[in-house]
Amino acid sequence: MSKSLKRVKRALDEAGITAEILEMAEGTRTAEDAARAAGCEIDQIVKSVIFRGEEDGRAILFLTAGGNRVDGVKASAVAGEALGKADAALIREQTGFAIGGVAPIGHLTPIRAFIDPRLFDFDVIWSAAGTPRHVFAVDPRDIERLSGAQAADFTS
């Protein structure tokens, strides 16, 4: 089991959440891939989109429904600062995850996070579990609580 996957499992266990982590042979790099593999609606897939805050260079996480897109202007307004592109090195360094497997929980360092209210329309949502091949299903309120994410309108 990878270090990334172990961190996600540990975060779930420490929170007392029983969530089976599934390995998807065909991968879950895109929301479409993940929805197909999980057998759910695309908006039940949590996309973890990371930007770099221009004030301090810290990663900022936007958790959005799979069918939505993060609007850069709205996201910047929600974050209260200009946002730039987060490259793979920054994402790996600050979250501990590779692009395509960024989980909403289990980060190496605390991260400021925002969550798309669309995700609350479902009883169960599917999130990356630290690798591009692993996912877990959970109540969206658990993701909100564990990630410390604030619900906000940042999609277009």
| Secondary structure of residue 105 in the 3-state scheme | coil
Tell me if 118 sits within 8 A of 87, measured CB to CB.
Answer: no
Look up the pTM and report it: 0.95
- Which CATH code for domain 3-151? 3.90.960.10
Please give the backbone phi and psi of residue 55, each rounded to the nearest 5 degrees, phi first. Answer: -75, -45
- 141 Cβ neighbours under 8 A, 6+ residues apart: 120
- Say whether pLDDT at 8 is over 70: yes
- 87: which DSSP letter? P
Instruction: Report the DSSP beta bridge partners of residue 115.
Output: 63, 151
- Residue range 63-105, pLDDT digits in tens: 999 999 999 999 999 999 999 999 999 999 999 999 889 999 9
- Where do the domains of the chain lie? 3-151
- The stretch 40-54 carries a mean pLDDT of 96
- The stretch 149-155 carries a mean pLDDT of 98
Question: What token pair was written down for 143?
Answer: 């993701």
Residue 27: per-residue pLDDT = 66
Instruction: Report the DSSP beta bridge partners of residue 138.
Output: 125
Please give the backbone phi and psi of residue 155, each rounded to the nearest 5 degrees, phi first. Answer: -110, 160
- Say whether pLDDT at 26 is over 80: no
- Residue range 108-134, pLDDT digits in tens: 999 999 999 999 999 999 999 999 889
- 82: which DSSP letter? -
